Structure 1
Amino acid sequence: MAAFEVIPVVDLMKGQVVHARAGERATYRPLEGSTLCASAEPLEVVRGLLRLHPFRTLYIADLDAIQKRGDHKPLIRRLRTEFPALDLWVDAGFASLCDCRAYLKAGLGALVLGSESQSGLDTVSALCEEPQLVLSLDFRGEQPLGPSALFDQVALWPGRVIAMTLARVGAGRGPDRERLAQLKAAGAGRRIFAAGGVRDEADLAGLAADGCAGALIASCLHSGRVGREALERLAGPA
Protein backbone atom coordinates (compact mmCIF):
# COMPACT_ATOMS: atom_id res chain seq x y z
CA MET A 1 0.00 0.00 0.00
CA ALA A 2 1.26 3.48 -0.89
CA ALA A 3 2.33 5.69 2.00
CA PHE A 4 -0.03 8.38 3.28
CA GLU A 5 0.85 11.65 1.51
CA VAL A 6 0.59 15.13 2.99
CA ILE A 7 0.06 17.67 0.20
CA PRO A 8 0.48 21.39 0.93
CA VAL A 9 -2.01 23.78 -0.68
CA VAL A 10 -1.31 27.15 -2.29
CA ASP A 11 -4.42 29.25 -3.00
CA LEU A 12 -3.70 31.98 -5.54
CA MET A 13 -5.65 35.21 -5.87
CA LYS A 14 -4.48 38.42 -7.54
CA GLY A 15 -0.89 37.19 -7.68
CA GLN A 16 -0.62 36.33 -4.00
CA VAL A 17 -1.15 33.33 -1.76
CA VAL A 18 -4.32 33.85 0.27
CA HIS A 19 -5.61 32.29 3.47
CA ALA A 20 -8.64 30.24 2.47
CA ARG A 21 -11.37 30.00 5.08
CA ALA A 22 -14.68 28.12 4.86
CA GLY A 23 -14.92 28.53 1.09
CA GLU A 24 -16.01 32.19 1.44
CA ARG A 25 -13.73 33.47 -1.32
CA ALA A 26 -14.86 37.09 -1.10
CA THR A 27 -13.30 37.25 2.38
CA TYR A 28 -9.93 35.68 1.55
CA ARG A 29 -6.94 37.87 2.39
CA PRO A 30 -3.21 37.52 1.63
CA LEU A 31 -1.40 35.03 3.85
CA GLU A 32 0.17 36.63 6.92
CA GLY A 33 1.65 35.48 10.19
CA SER A 34 3.06 32.29 8.70
CA THR A 35 5.83 30.49 10.57
CA LEU A 36 7.27 29.41 7.21
CA CYS A 37 7.58 32.58 5.13
CA ALA A 38 7.67 36.35 5.51
CA SER A 39 5.30 37.26 2.70
CA ALA A 40 2.42 36.04 0.56
CA GLU A 41 4.59 35.99 -2.58
CA PRO A 42 3.98 32.54 -4.12
CA LEU A 43 7.59 31.52 -4.76
CA GLU A 44 8.58 32.53 -1.24
CA VAL A 45 5.68 30.54 0.19
CA VAL A 46 6.68 27.42 -1.74
CA ARG A 47 10.31 27.82 -0.67
CA GLY A 48 9.13 28.02 2.93
CA LEU A 49 7.10 24.85 2.56
CA LEU A 50 10.07 22.99 1.08
CA ARG A 51 12.38 24.19 3.86
CA LEU A 52 9.96 22.56 6.26
CA HIS A 53 9.70 19.21 4.45
CA PRO A 54 10.61 17.65 1.07
CA PHE A 55 7.01 17.47 -0.12
CA ARG A 56 6.53 15.51 -3.35
CA THR A 57 3.29 17.18 -4.43
CA LEU A 58 1.91 20.72 -4.34
CA TYR A 59 -1.77 21.51 -4.86
CA ILE A 60 -2.45 24.87 -6.52
CA ALA A 61 -5.91 26.44 -6.60
CA ASP A 62 -6.07 29.30 -9.12
CA LEU A 63 -9.01 31.05 -7.50
CA ASP A 64 -9.14 33.81 -10.10
CA ALA A 65 -9.53 31.21 -12.84
CA ILE A 66 -12.11 29.25 -10.83
CA GLN A 67 -14.13 32.47 -10.42
CA LYS A 68 -13.54 33.45 -14.08
CA ARG A 69 -11.71 36.63 -13.11
CA GLY A 70 -8.42 36.08 -14.92
CA ASP A 71 -5.82 33.42 -14.18
CA HIS A 72 -2.28 32.70 -13.00
CA LYS A 73 -0.97 30.76 -15.99
CA PRO A 74 2.43 32.57 -16.16
CA LEU A 75 2.93 32.09 -12.41
CA ILE A 76 2.07 28.40 -12.59
CA ARG A 77 4.55 27.98 -15.44
CA ARG A 78 7.20 29.71 -13.33
CA LEU A 79 6.47 27.45 -10.36
CA ARG A 80 6.86 24.45 -12.68
CA THR A 81 10.26 25.80 -13.80
CA GLU A 82 11.49 26.83 -10.34
CA PHE A 83 10.46 23.59 -8.62
CA PRO A 84 10.81 20.83 -11.23
CA ALA A 85 10.85 18.02 -8.65
CA LEU A 86 7.37 18.93 -7.38
CA ASP A 87 4.36 17.17 -8.83
CA LEU A 88 1.87 20.01 -9.32
CA TRP A 89 -1.86 19.40 -8.99
CA VAL A 90 -3.63 22.40 -10.50
CA ASP A 91 -7.29 23.36 -10.19
CA ALA A 92 -7.88 26.33 -12.49
CA GLY A 93 -11.60 25.97 -12.97
CA PHE A 94 -11.17 23.55 -15.88
CA ALA A 95 -14.46 22.72 -17.57
CA SER A 96 -14.15 22.46 -21.34
CA LEU A 97 -12.42 19.48 -22.90
CA CYS A 98 -10.44 21.82 -25.16
CA ASP A 99 -8.98 23.72 -22.19
CA CYS A 100 -8.17 20.49 -20.39
CA ARG A 101 -6.34 19.03 -23.37
CA ALA A 102 -4.37 22.25 -23.84
CA TYR A 103 -3.29 22.19 -20.19
CA LEU A 104 -2.29 18.52 -20.34
CA LYS A 105 -0.31 19.13 -23.52
CA ALA A 106 1.63 21.91 -21.77
CA GLY A 107 3.01 19.36 -19.28
CA LEU A 108 2.59 21.53 -16.19
CA GLY A 109 1.38 18.74 -13.94
CA ALA A 110 -1.77 16.92 -12.96
CA LEU A 111 -5.09 18.50 -13.89
CA VAL A 112 -7.61 18.79 -11.07
CA LEU A 113 -11.16 18.71 -12.41
CA GLY A 114 -13.38 20.33 -9.79
CA SER A 115 -16.99 19.21 -9.71
CA GLU A 116 -18.10 22.78 -8.92
CA SER A 117 -16.79 23.90 -12.33
CA GLN A 118 -18.68 21.25 -14.33
CA SER A 119 -22.01 21.79 -16.04
CA GLY A 120 -22.29 18.18 -17.20
CA LEU A 121 -20.41 14.90 -17.48
CA ASP A 122 -18.86 15.25 -20.94
CA THR A 123 -15.40 16.41 -19.87
CA VAL A 124 -14.89 13.90 -17.08
CA SER A 125 -16.30 11.14 -19.31
CA ALA A 126 -13.73 11.95 -21.98
CA LEU A 127 -10.81 12.17 -19.53
CA CYS A 128 -11.61 9.62 -16.82
CA GLU A 129 -8.82 7.28 -17.96
CA GLU A 130 -6.25 10.09 -18.29
CA PRO A 131 -3.41 9.28 -15.83
CA GLN A 132 -2.81 12.97 -15.12
CA LEU A 133 -6.41 13.59 -14.03
CA VAL A 134 -7.45 14.17 -10.42
CA LEU A 135 -11.17 14.58 -9.68
CA SER A 136 -12.23 16.92 -6.89
CA LEU A 137 -15.69 16.19 -5.51
CA ASP A 138 -16.63 19.52 -3.96
CA PHE A 139 -19.08 19.99 -1.11
CA ARG A 140 -20.46 23.07 0.63
CA GLY A 141 -21.92 21.74 3.87
CA GLU A 142 -23.99 18.74 2.90
CA GLN A 143 -24.56 20.10 -0.60
CA PRO A 144 -22.52 18.55 -3.42
CA LEU A 145 -21.38 21.17 -5.94
CA GLY A 146 -21.72 20.31 -9.62
CA PRO A 147 -23.70 17.68 -11.54
CA SER A 148 -25.33 15.32 -9.05
CA ALA A 149 -24.75 12.36 -11.37
CA LEU A 150 -20.97 12.83 -11.07
CA PHE A 151 -21.12 11.92 -7.37
CA ASP A 152 -22.97 8.69 -8.13
CA GLN A 153 -21.32 7.44 -11.33
CA VAL A 154 -18.22 5.95 -9.79
CA ALA A 155 -17.20 4.47 -13.15
CA LEU A 156 -16.31 8.03 -14.24
CA TRP A 157 -13.99 8.66 -11.29
CA PRO A 158 -10.26 8.49 -12.08
CA GLY A 159 -7.77 6.77 -9.81
CA ARG A 160 -7.29 9.83 -7.58
CA VAL A 161 -10.25 11.60 -5.98
CA ILE A 162 -10.24 14.58 -3.60
CA ALA A 163 -13.09 15.05 -1.14
CA MET A 164 -13.16 18.87 -0.88
CA THR A 165 -15.26 20.00 2.09
CA LEU A 166 -15.19 23.76 1.52
CA ALA A 167 -16.96 24.73 4.74
CA ARG A 168 -14.14 23.16 6.75
CA VAL A 169 -11.23 24.70 4.82
CA GLY A 170 -9.19 26.85 7.21
CA ALA A 171 -11.94 26.62 9.82
CA GLY A 172 -10.26 24.23 12.30
CA ARG A 173 -13.31 21.98 12.53
CA GLY A 174 -11.61 18.70 11.78
CA PRO A 175 -11.97 16.60 8.63
CA ASP A 176 -15.32 15.10 7.62
CA ARG A 177 -14.33 11.51 8.30
CA GLU A 178 -17.85 10.18 7.81
CA ARG A 179 -18.07 11.53 4.27
CA LEU A 180 -14.55 10.33 3.51
CA ALA A 181 -15.48 6.83 4.66
CA GLN A 182 -18.53 6.89 2.39
CA LEU A 183 -16.48 7.96 -0.63
CA LYS A 184 -13.78 5.42 0.13
CA ALA A 185 -16.38 2.65 0.34
CA ALA A 186 -17.96 3.77 -2.93
CA GLY A 187 -14.68 4.38 -4.70
CA ALA A 188 -13.83 0.77 -5.49
CA GLY A 189 -10.09 1.10 -4.98
CA ARG A 190 -9.68 4.77 -5.92
CA ARG A 191 -7.20 6.72 -3.82
CA ILE A 192 -9.22 9.20 -1.73
CA PHE A 193 -7.59 12.43 -0.52
CA ALA A 194 -9.09 14.58 2.25
CA ALA A 195 -9.27 18.36 1.88
CA GLY A 196 -10.63 20.68 4.53
CA GLY A 197 -10.57 20.77 8.31
CA VAL A 198 -7.24 19.15 9.24
CA ARG A 199 -6.02 20.70 12.50
CA ASP A 200 -3.01 18.72 13.63
CA GLU A 201 -0.98 15.51 13.48
CA ALA A 202 -3.75 13.56 15.22
CA ASP A 203 -6.19 14.41 12.43
CA LEU A 204 -3.67 13.31 9.82
CA ALA A 205 -2.93 10.07 11.67
CA GLY A 206 -6.66 9.40 11.93
CA LEU A 207 -7.14 9.88 8.19
CA ALA A 208 -4.23 7.54 7.48
CA ALA A 209 -5.73 4.93 9.81
CA ASP A 210 -9.06 5.30 7.99
CA GLY A 211 -7.36 4.35 4.73
CA CYS A 212 -7.23 7.74 3.05
CA ALA A 213 -4.39 8.10 0.56
CA GLY A 214 -3.44 11.55 1.81
CA ALA A 215 -4.61 15.00 2.84
CA LEU A 216 -4.41 18.51 1.45
CA ILE A 217 -3.47 21.03 4.14
CA ALA A 218 -2.39 24.64 4.53
CA SER A 219 -3.42 26.45 7.73
CA CYS A 220 -1.93 23.90 10.12
CA LEU A 221 1.41 24.09 8.29
CA HIS A 222 1.63 27.89 8.42
CA SER A 223 0.53 27.99 12.08
CA GLY A 224 3.14 25.38 13.04
CA ARG A 225 0.56 22.93 14.42
CA VAL A 226 1.93 20.38 11.96
CA GLY A 227 5.70 20.69 11.98
CA ARG A 228 8.81 18.97 10.71
CA GLU A 229 8.82 16.07 13.17
CA ALA A 230 5.14 15.29 12.62
CA LEU A 231 5.64 15.25 8.85
CA GLU A 232 8.63 12.92 9.22
CA ARG A 233 6.58 10.54 11.38
CA LEU A 234 3.74 10.50 8.88
CA ALA A 235 6.13 9.90 6.00
CA GLY A 236 7.54 6.80 7.69
CA PRO A 237 10.96 5.25 6.98
CA ALA A 238 12.90 6.75 4.08
Structure 2
Amino acid sequence: MELIPVLDLRAGQVVHARRGERGRYAPINSALCSGADPLDLAHALQALTGARTLYLADLDGVLDGRPQTAVLQRLVQALPQLSWWIDAGWQRREDAWRLRDALGSAGDTLVPVYGTESLADRAALEALQDDPRAVLSLDRRGERPMDPAGLWDCPALWLPTTIVMTLERVGSGAGPDLATLPALRRRAPQVQRWVGSGGVRDPADLSAGAAAGADAWLVASALHTGGWPVRRVSGKEQTRGTGERHS
Protein backbone atom coordinates (compact mmCIF):
# COMPACT_ATOMS: atom_id res chain seq x y z
CA MET A 1 0.00 0.00 0.00
CA GLU A 2 1.38 3.38 -1.04
CA LEU A 3 0.69 6.47 1.05
CA ILE A 4 0.38 9.64 -1.06
CA PRO A 5 0.53 12.89 0.96
CA VAL A 6 -1.88 15.64 -0.07
CA LEU A 7 -1.62 19.42 -0.25
CA ASP A 8 -4.84 21.42 -0.69
CA LEU A 9 -4.06 24.90 -2.03
CA ARG A 10 -6.25 27.96 -1.85
CA ALA A 11 -4.96 31.46 -2.69
CA GLY A 12 -1.35 30.37 -2.42
CA GLN A 13 -1.65 28.71 0.99
CA VAL A 14 -2.15 25.16 2.17
CA VAL A 15 -5.58 24.80 3.74
CA HIS A 16 -7.08 22.12 5.96
CA ALA A 17 -9.68 20.23 3.98
CA ARG A 18 -12.66 19.00 6.02
CA ARG A 19 -15.57 16.96 4.64
CA GLY A 20 -15.55 18.83 1.32
CA GLU A 21 -16.95 21.98 2.98
CA ARG A 22 -14.65 24.19 0.95
CA GLY A 23 -16.05 27.51 2.07
CA ARG A 24 -14.84 26.69 5.58
CA TYR A 25 -11.31 25.60 4.74
CA ALA A 26 -8.79 27.61 6.79
CA PRO A 27 -4.99 27.80 6.51
CA ILE A 28 -3.50 24.63 7.91
CA ASN A 29 -2.05 24.48 11.40
CA SER A 30 0.49 21.68 11.05
CA ALA A 31 2.75 20.12 13.63
CA LEU A 32 5.30 19.55 10.86
CA CYS A 33 6.29 23.17 10.38
CA SER A 34 5.01 26.67 11.09
CA GLY A 35 2.83 28.55 8.64
CA ALA A 36 0.96 27.39 5.56
CA ASP A 37 3.58 27.86 2.85
CA PRO A 38 3.13 25.05 0.31
CA LEU A 39 6.83 24.50 -0.38
CA ASP A 40 7.71 24.26 3.32
CA LEU A 41 4.91 21.75 3.82
CA ALA A 42 5.82 19.77 0.71
CA HIS A 43 9.36 19.36 2.04
CA ALA A 44 8.00 18.39 5.48
CA LEU A 45 5.57 15.79 4.12
CA GLN A 46 8.19 14.24 1.90
CA ALA A 47 10.67 14.07 4.79
CA LEU A 48 8.07 12.50 7.08
CA THR A 49 6.83 9.83 4.71
CA GLY A 50 9.62 9.26 2.22
CA ALA A 51 6.95 9.52 -0.48
CA ARG A 52 7.93 9.76 -4.12
CA THR A 53 4.51 11.14 -5.07
CA LEU A 54 2.64 14.18 -3.77
CA TYR A 55 -0.98 14.97 -4.63
CA LEU A 56 -1.90 18.62 -5.04
CA ALA A 57 -5.47 19.89 -5.18
CA ASP A 58 -5.48 23.41 -6.65
CA LEU A 59 -8.79 24.66 -5.30
CA ASP A 60 -8.52 27.97 -7.16
CA GLY A 61 -8.53 25.95 -10.36
CA VAL A 62 -11.25 23.54 -9.23
CA LEU A 63 -13.62 26.17 -7.85
CA ASP A 64 -12.84 29.30 -9.86
CA GLY A 65 -11.25 28.00 -13.06
CA ARG A 66 -8.05 29.92 -12.32
CA PRO A 67 -5.18 27.48 -11.68
CA GLN A 68 -2.37 28.83 -9.49
CA THR A 69 0.21 28.31 -12.21
CA ALA A 70 3.00 30.28 -10.52
CA VAL A 71 2.56 28.37 -7.25
CA LEU A 72 2.47 25.03 -9.06
CA GLN A 73 5.61 25.94 -10.99
CA ARG A 74 7.42 26.83 -7.77
CA LEU A 75 6.55 23.52 -6.17
CA VAL A 76 7.29 21.25 -9.11
CA GLN A 77 10.53 22.97 -10.03
CA ALA A 78 11.75 22.92 -6.42
CA LEU A 79 11.12 19.17 -6.04
CA PRO A 80 11.58 17.72 -9.53
CA GLN A 81 12.49 14.30 -8.12
CA LEU A 82 8.86 13.79 -7.10
CA SER A 83 5.89 12.73 -9.18
CA TRP A 84 3.25 15.47 -8.86
CA TRP A 85 -0.39 14.40 -9.13
CA ILE A 86 -2.26 17.66 -9.74
CA ASP A 87 -5.99 18.33 -9.95
CA ALA A 88 -6.61 21.92 -10.97
CA GLY A 89 -10.15 21.51 -12.24
CA TRP A 90 -9.17 20.38 -15.73
CA GLN A 91 -12.19 20.27 -18.02
CA ARG A 92 -10.28 18.75 -20.92
CA ARG A 93 -6.87 17.26 -21.62
CA GLU A 94 -5.65 20.48 -23.21
CA ASP A 95 -6.05 22.34 -19.91
CA ALA A 96 -3.51 20.11 -18.19
CA TRP A 97 -1.15 20.22 -21.14
CA ARG A 98 -0.96 24.00 -20.86
CA LEU A 99 0.43 23.63 -17.35
CA ARG A 100 2.82 20.91 -18.49
CA ASP A 101 4.17 23.22 -21.19
CA ALA A 102 4.52 26.09 -18.69
CA LEU A 103 6.62 23.87 -16.42
CA GLY A 104 9.27 23.37 -19.08
CA SER A 105 11.61 20.47 -18.38
CA ALA A 106 9.86 19.85 -15.03
CA GLY A 107 6.63 19.12 -16.91
CA ASP A 108 7.63 15.47 -17.15
CA THR A 109 6.86 15.12 -13.42
CA LEU A 110 3.22 16.17 -13.88
CA VAL A 111 0.54 13.49 -13.55
CA PRO A 112 -2.76 15.22 -14.37
CA VAL A 113 -5.77 14.17 -12.29
CA TYR A 114 -9.13 14.70 -13.98
CA GLY A 115 -12.07 14.85 -11.59
CA THR A 116 -15.62 13.95 -12.50
CA GLU A 117 -16.54 17.18 -10.73
CA SER A 118 -14.75 19.12 -13.48
CA LEU A 119 -14.59 17.11 -16.72
CA ALA A 120 -16.67 18.78 -19.39
CA ASP A 121 -18.39 15.74 -20.90
CA ARG A 122 -18.04 12.12 -21.92
CA ALA A 123 -15.95 13.10 -24.94
CA ALA A 124 -13.39 14.69 -22.62
CA LEU A 125 -12.99 11.38 -20.77
CA GLU A 126 -12.86 9.43 -24.03
CA ALA A 127 -9.98 11.66 -25.15
CA LEU A 128 -7.93 10.49 -22.16
CA GLN A 129 -8.05 6.80 -23.05
CA ASP A 130 -4.69 6.88 -24.84
CA ASP A 131 -2.89 9.03 -22.24
CA PRO A 132 -0.88 6.71 -19.95
CA ARG A 133 -0.27 9.49 -17.43
CA ALA A 134 -3.88 10.53 -16.93
CA VAL A 135 -5.61 9.70 -13.63
CA LEU A 136 -9.38 9.76 -13.13
CA SER A 137 -10.93 10.90 -9.87
CA LEU A 138 -14.47 9.68 -9.12
CA ASP A 139 -15.57 12.60 -6.96
CA ARG A 140 -18.25 12.23 -4.29
CA ARG A 141 -19.51 14.29 -1.38
CA GLY A 142 -22.23 13.33 1.06
CA GLU A 143 -22.38 9.90 -0.61
CA ARG A 144 -23.59 11.53 -3.84
CA PRO A 145 -21.43 11.67 -6.98
CA MET A 146 -20.10 15.07 -8.06
CA ASP A 147 -20.59 14.29 -11.69
CA PRO A 148 -22.36 16.76 -14.00
CA ALA A 149 -21.24 14.81 -17.09
CA GLY A 150 -22.55 11.44 -15.82
CA LEU A 151 -19.13 9.77 -15.85
CA TRP A 152 -19.84 7.55 -12.84
CA ASP A 153 -22.19 5.74 -15.23
CA CYS A 154 -19.40 5.03 -17.75
CA PRO A 155 -17.25 2.43 -15.95
CA ALA A 156 -15.85 1.09 -19.23
CA LEU A 157 -14.14 4.49 -19.67
CA TRP A 158 -12.58 4.69 -16.22
CA LEU A 159 -8.83 5.03 -16.50
CA PRO A 160 -6.17 2.47 -15.52
CA THR A 161 -5.45 4.56 -12.41
CA THR A 162 -8.66 5.73 -10.74
CA ILE A 163 -9.18 7.55 -7.44
CA VAL A 164 -12.25 7.08 -5.26
CA MET A 165 -12.54 10.61 -3.86
CA THR A 166 -14.92 10.40 -0.88
CA LEU A 167 -14.82 14.05 0.15
CA GLU A 168 -17.21 13.57 3.06
CA ARG A 169 -14.49 11.50 4.76
CA VAL A 170 -11.67 13.98 4.18
CA GLY A 171 -10.49 15.50 7.46
CA SER A 172 -13.36 13.84 9.30
CA GLY A 173 -11.41 11.46 11.53
CA ALA A 174 -14.17 8.96 10.83
CA GLY A 175 -12.00 6.33 9.20
CA PRO A 176 -11.86 5.34 5.53
CA ASP A 177 -14.83 4.24 3.46
CA LEU A 178 -14.13 0.54 2.94
CA ALA A 179 -17.36 -0.34 1.13
CA THR A 180 -17.44 1.93 -1.93
CA LEU A 181 -14.13 0.88 -3.42
CA PRO A 182 -14.87 -2.87 -3.67
CA ALA A 183 -18.21 -2.10 -5.31
CA LEU A 184 -16.54 0.12 -7.90
CA ARG A 185 -13.82 -2.45 -8.56
CA ARG A 186 -16.48 -4.94 -9.58
CA ARG A 187 -17.87 -2.45 -12.09
CA ALA A 188 -14.53 -1.69 -13.76
CA PRO A 189 -12.25 -4.74 -13.86
CA GLN A 190 -10.00 -2.99 -16.40
CA VAL A 191 -8.78 -0.49 -13.78
CA GLN A 192 -5.27 -1.54 -12.80
CA ARG A 193 -4.65 0.72 -9.82
CA TRP A 194 -7.23 1.93 -7.32
CA VAL A 195 -6.49 4.87 -5.02
CA GLY A 196 -8.60 5.63 -1.97
CA SER A 197 -9.03 9.01 -0.33
CA GLY A 198 -10.28 10.37 2.97
CA GLY A 199 -10.62 9.20 6.55
CA VAL A 200 -7.26 7.53 7.17
CA ARG A 201 -6.18 8.09 10.78
CA ASP A 202 -3.23 5.76 11.20
CA PRO A 203 -1.32 2.92 9.52
CA ALA A 204 -3.97 0.43 10.61
CA ASP A 205 -6.45 2.28 8.41
CA LEU A 206 -4.02 1.98 5.50
CA SER A 207 -3.89 -1.76 6.04
CA ALA A 208 -7.69 -1.90 6.07
CA GLY A 209 -7.75 0.06 2.81
CA ALA A 210 -5.34 -2.40 1.25
CA ALA A 211 -7.56 -5.28 2.33
CA ALA A 212 -10.49 -3.52 0.62
CA GLY A 213 -8.57 -3.48 -2.65
CA ALA A 214 -6.74 -0.13 -2.66
CA ASP A 215 -3.23 0.09 -4.08
CA ALA A 216 -2.64 3.57 -2.62
CA TRP A 217 -4.38 6.09 -0.39
CA LEU A 218 -4.38 9.89 -0.33
CA VAL A 219 -3.69 11.19 3.19
CA ALA A 220 -3.54 14.72 4.58
CA SER A 221 -4.95 15.51 8.04
CA ALA A 222 -3.43 12.54 9.86
CA LEU A 223 0.07 13.55 8.79
CA HIS A 224 -0.18 17.03 10.31
CA THR A 225 -1.03 16.00 13.86
CA GLY A 226 2.54 15.18 14.86
CA GLY A 227 1.49 11.68 15.89
CA TRP A 228 2.04 9.77 12.66
CA PRO A 229 4.64 7.07 13.39
CA VAL A 230 7.93 6.94 11.51
CA ARG A 231 10.77 4.47 11.59
CA ARG A 232 14.35 4.58 10.36
CA VAL A 233 15.28 2.35 7.44
CA SER A 234 18.79 2.41 5.96
CA GLY A 235 19.41 5.85 7.40
CA LYS A 236 16.13 7.29 6.12
CA GLU A 237 12.86 7.83 7.94
CA GLN A 238 9.90 5.97 6.44
CA THR A 239 6.27 5.95 7.49
CA ARG A 240 5.17 2.70 9.09
CA GLY A 241 2.56 0.84 7.14
CA THR A 242 3.57 2.09 3.70
CA GLY A 243 4.83 -0.66 1.47
CA GLU A 244 7.47 -0.44 -1.20
CA ARG A 245 5.07 0.35 -4.06
CA HIS A 246 5.67 3.84 -5.35
CA SER A 247 5.12 5.31 -8.79
Per-residue CA shift, 1:94-134, capped at 9, x if unaligned?
00343133234452501100101124211111112211100
Q: CA 1:104/1:153 → structure 2, altered by over 3 Å: closer, same or farther?
A: farther
| 1:71 match | 67
Partners of 1:98 and 1:236 in 2: CA distance: 33
Residues 1-238 of structure 1: pairs in structure 2 closer than 5 A: 4-32=1-29, 34-68=30-64, 70-106=66-102, 107=107, 108-147=109-148, 149-190=150-191, 191-229=193-231, 231-236=239-244
CA spacing shift, 1:236–1:111, aligned 2, 3 Å: closer
Q: Distance in 2 between matches of 1:208 and 1:122?
A: 32
Deviates more, 1:107-116 or 1:148-157: 148-157
The 3-state SS of whatever aligns with 2:242 is helix
Q: Secondary structure at the match of 2:117?
A: helix
For 1:97 and 1:236, the matched residues in 2 are separated by: 31
Point out where structure 2 has 5 or more consecutive residues left out of the alignment: 232-237
Q: Give structure 1 regions of 4+ aligned residues with deviation exceeding 4 angstroms.
A: none
Residue 234 of structure 2 aligns with which residue?
none
Amino acid at match of 1:29: A
Partner of 2:235: none
By how many angstroms is 1:35 displaced? 2.0
In structure 1, the gaps of 5 or more residues are: none
Measure the CA separation in 2 of the matches of 1:29 and 1:113.
24
> Aligned residue pairs: how many?
234
Identity %: 42
- For the 8 Å contact 1:160–1:193, the answer to whether it is kept is yes
CA RMSD of aligned residues (A): 2.0
CA distance in 2, matches of 1:226, 1:157: 33
Residue identity in the other structure for 1:216: L
- TM-score (normalised: structure 1): 0.91
The answer as to whether partners of 2:48 and 2:230 remain within 8 angstroms in 1 is yes
TM-score using structure 2 length: 0.88
Cα distance, 1:194–1:225 mapped onto 2, change above 3 Å: farther
**Contact 2:139-2:146 within 8 A present in 1 as well:** yes
Q: Deviations over 1:125-183 (max 9, x none)?
A: 11122111000000112211114641122221111101001111101111111101111
